Structure 1
């Protein structure tokens, strides 16, 4: 009969040096048997929702944190009872890095003998969240080390009770259309009881929510009936901090240009009727994104970063094009890697995938990092122009206004044309007025007459 030991899993750094994550939901309960890399929890970082795979195969002994709790990286979140005899072949391999798991003694401290039994440092095998199962050294622990490790492993500690309803449910569970309806009505989904399967909040639940009457007494007593309070956390907290840092670190300059985009809209209509683009989603954003990429070739200064630590200007020879996206979790700016290498069809597919993923709340941390220049499409909200704040670490951001019919002078005669306003914000440490103006002028020239691309490539 093989002996068992307790392995503790600590919250890992899920990328970009993030210091904390919120436990959204547990996918397992105390007593459940799990396999290696089985998803055990869903957590929300400051950038994305991430599924945590199990670094061990065994039985869940304790859940140390409940859903809704913000946990610092390195703190224990779950303990497993594993077969120590199989720990070196994947039956209980510890995770690497910040999410490392260790055997524990009776007081919760790492067991020296257990650490000795594990042996030399393990080699990391990366997975989609940057940690997970590892392959340990090929040497087999000595019999004496195994006996000592088994002897010093205590009985399973008393688990923290987590109600099964909380384990199975998200906080709160609903669909994107329902979340949008709640936002439009000014309703906090945290306060709405769900009547759907597994506590799912339905459209009817939101529509039938009467407000103060449905708010738990302990919640209503704090803010009163005349206001609603929502905790600042997750993406909104990260975005707010990033925007404040950007606004008060980089000296922003914003320039505006209104252009006649009738030719671009005519081109768009032709492309939609072309068999080559059948099944592809083409919008003014698609053409504008391609125009930005072309304009950057003649104005590479706008595709750069200010390195404060090294006191260097970093100019990128590639373009990771960020697209600002409004999601149920707040504003995010995922980016398309190496967008400058994509054809118009490939760019169209990438934009569609990016927006669909963002709206579903499934954008990964890697997709939110490494951007070099961004676009925000405020025209979809009927807005003509604005002064967008730079995405931190980038030199420029372009805001696309709404396409409107307006009177325009063509060949000294007044005509009705389709018009768009462009707003360009840039970091004046990296980009001077001439460089910014030339880029904006080139962008406007392409959108006014797409044939101008031929003079820029």
Structure 2
């Protein structure tokens, strides 16, 4: 029996992924959950496990191809151990099925095979994996299939539906697409989505508005690396993956949230002296400690006094959401571009645990192994521009967050100290915040608290 596997949504409604490499070839025998491919989403590189045990029959896409969610990427030849009956969507009734004598249709209960990334193969004869019920328009019952047709089964990612099924609820689209439609004065209800599950894409909006469409994604097998021939004066690089996601996120943030930025230059000599003592402490043996470690702890302490900086503006519901936990994002420059993974519940960590989490986060990011889950759900972020020798800047907010703190380079400078001029270790803090959520007073007090802790770590005793 031949089964096709379609590219699943690998996290948070992502609409496409790039095939980086295949770990298997045609004719290879694979086991359930064996890694068969490495794909790059707009957020991370993800290893794709096999949903079946069987033999690779065909690879539908080549490395370098950008594939939409829901498109077939690989076919398997598997043992025909269930009569070859096709998969039935959850909540639908196979032809002739029902409760004997009652005339009522029997709804089958979906079953999943073990899986690694949130999608799963469906056991033969059972329904697809279920998700939260959505209000869809009625669809016609399944058409009868011939034996030849029933020999091919398709596994679709959870959440997809036939392209001709139109939801009766609010049209599905992403925030940037909704903003584009609003700027163009268009009603999304009038636009038919061509994306996975009826998702309205930017191209759908542009086509409806009569604008020129953007260049399409590379075809399967087409070169996607920077191209420049002899004598050419420019190089063109395809915009995709992390770079594409970062660009969209920064544009959304810059033109949605009213940014305000404040600066504070601080003598951090006492903090560096504390770090030197901690490194010699048995409690921190083998743990990497940096100024970022203390800055992160200072941010977590200051947030207790200024919780407005740990919040989110919910435009759709016209609400301010204040978080009672802190998922601390740390901007990381990687070979794939800028990413902002976050440490979940960082406010619950003691200093040694926080230092260890920061070290693991950086190591994972450099190796390109950060997962989509680690890149989602941040509540406030830190960007350490000091590692590049930069003193200060105006950081752009991570979308959905109220604030981001920039750490400048630590420099030896003449500084007023106890009534005299002395050489001290000095750095500049840059705080950008969403002025819808954070007033100038709140932002200033937060920045002053962080600066006070770094200037004199003992000040923590007066804040907790």
Instruction: Name the SS of the counterpart of 2:78 in structure 1.
Output: strand
1:212 maps to: none
In the aligned structure 1, how far is the partner of 2:410 from the partner of 2:332?
19
Is residue 95–residue 134 contact of structure 1 (8 Å, CA) maintained in 2? no
Counterparts of 1:87 and 1:239, CA distance in 2: 47
Residue from 251, 257, 280 that aligns with 1:244:
251
Kept after mapping to 2: 8 A contact 1:94/1:133: no
- CA distance in 2 between counterparts of 1:424 and 1:94 reads 53
2:33 and 2:115 in contact (8 A); partners too? no
The structure carrying a bigger helix percent of its residues is: 1
Give me the CA root mean square deviation. 2.9
Partner of 1:77: 73
Shift of residue 62, structure 1, vs aligned partner? 1.2
1:35 to 23, 27, 31: 31
Summarize the alignment of residues 88-127 of structure 1 with structure 2, pairs less than 5 Å apart: 120=108, 122-124=110-112, 127=115
The answer to whether residue 139 in structure 2 is matched with residue 132 in structure 1 is no
Report whether the alignment pairs 1:267 with 2:274: yes
What pairs up with 1:338-417 in 2 under 5 angstroms? Answer: 338-417=345-424
User: Are 2:440 and 1:440 aligned?
Assistant: no
2:324 is equivalent to residue 328 of structure 1:
no
CA distance in 2, matches of 1:350, 1:93: 46
Q: Distance in 1 between matches of 2:313 and 2:83?
A: 46
Q: Deviations over 1:138-187 (max 9, x none)?
A: 89xxxxxxxx875544699xxxxxxxxxxxxxxxxxxxxxxxxxxxxxxx
Once the two structures are overlaid, the 10-residue window that deviates more, 262-271 or 124-133, is 124-133
Deviation of the 1:72 alpha carbon: 0.5
Task: Find runs of 4+ consecutive structure 1 residues off by over 6 angstroms.
Answer: 92-97, 136-139
Residue correspondence of structure 1 range 276-315 to structure 2 within 5 A = 276-315=283-322
Q: TM-score, normalised by structure 1?
A: 0.75
Q: Is the 8 A contact 2:228 2:236 kept in 1?
A: no
Note closer, same or farther for the CA distance 1:437–1:61 as it changes in structure 2 (3 Å cut): same
Partner of 1:450: 457
Distance 1:422 1:231, change over 3 A: same
Give the direction of change, closer, same or farther, for the CA distance of 1:152–1:408 in structure 2 (3 Å limit).
closer
Q: Deviations over 1:201-237 (max 9, x none)?
A: xxxxxxxxxxxxxx9xx9545x953222211110000
**C-alpha displacement at 1:81, in angstroms?**
1.3
Task: Measure how far apart 1:83 and its partner are.
Answer: 1.4
- Provide the residue aligned with 2:234 in structure 1: 227
Going from structure 1 to structure 2, the CA distance change for 1:87 and 1:233 (only over 3 Å counts) comes to: farther
Q: Deviations over 1:333-370 (max 9, x none)?
A: 00000000001000011000000000000000000000
For residue 179 of structure 1, what is the aligned residue in structure 2? none
CA contact (8 A) 2:112 2:121 kept: yes
Q: CA 1:406–1:132 in 2, change beyond 3 Å: closer, same or farther?
A: same
- CA spacing shift, 1:385–1:336, aligned 2, 3 Å: same
Question: Distance in 1 between the 2:447 and 2:151 partners?
Answer: 68
Query: What does the per-residue CA deviation read over 1:270-290, in whole Å, with 9 as the maximum and x for residues that have no partner?
Result: 001111111000000001100
Indicate how the Cα distance of structure 1 residues 416 and 30 shifts in structure 2: closer, same or farther if over 3 A, else same.
same
How far off is 1:126 after superposition?
A: 6.8
For structure 2, which runs of at least 5 residues remain unmatched after alignment?
A: 99-106, 128-144, 154-222
Could you tell me how far apart the structure 1 residues matched to 2:36 and 2:109 are?
A: 25
Question: What secondary structure, in the 3-state scheme, does the structure 2 residue paired with 1:242 have?
Answer: helix
> Counterpart in 2 of 1:105?
none
* 1:206 aligned residue: none
Q: CA deviation at 1:394?
A: 0.2
Distance in 2 between the 1:420 and 1:345 partners? Answer: 23
